[in-house]
Every structure is written in C-alpha cells, then in structure tokens.
Amino acid sequence: MNTVPPTSELFPQDQFIGRHPTILFKSRVQWAVRNRHKNGLADAVFESRGGELLIHEPTFLRWFLGLTSRAKPRAQRRKRRQP
C-alpha cells in the first residue's frame, strides 16, 4: 500500500483480536505480524508514531482467509487409472 488507510480500519493487535475472537488467536496474529516481510503481510501492518503496530483489518483478513493473490489454488488429485 502506498498510502495510509483510514484510521477507522487500523487497530492495535489486542483490539483487532477482540473484534474477531472466533477466528483469530493472539499467538497466530503475533506470528503473522512478526513474519510479515516473509509471508506477504507487510502491506497490512503500520507503525504508529509511538511505535505501536497497527493492523489494517481488510488487508489482514483477505490474507488470513487466503483471498490474496499469494494464495495459490491447490492442485486437484488425479484419479487413478483402473487396470
């Protein structure tokens, strides 16, 4: 992302996890944010002036649910030939 998204879409980690308690766990979000430069999530995490990491909700959820271009479709299983 080149520009900063609206502040209504940015949340600190704890508040973000509280908004989605059924699908997100603290350890899972911490891992994703910590490895954001390797896993393609760098566009979803912003650092505030105070040094707090803020998560862009729409971008993170698209990544988490596999809706981004990084998610590759799985190959279909091949049917075995019948002799």
- Each residue of 49-67: pLDDT tens digit? 999 999 999 999 999 988 8
The CA-atom distances, in angstroms, between 58 and each of 7, 18, 33, 65, 81 are 12, 15, 15, 11, 44
| CA atoms of 55 and 29, how far apart (whole Å) | 10
Mean pLDDT of the chain: 85
Average pLDDT over residues 15-42: 93
Report if residue 75 sits inside a domain: no
- Cα 10 from chain centre: 13
* Residue 72: both structure tokens together: 């590759």
Q: Which domain holds residue 58?
A: 7-64
Structurally, how many domains does the chain consist of? 1
Q: Is 17 within the bounds of a domain? A: yes
Is residue 83 one of the residues assigned to a domain?
Answer: no
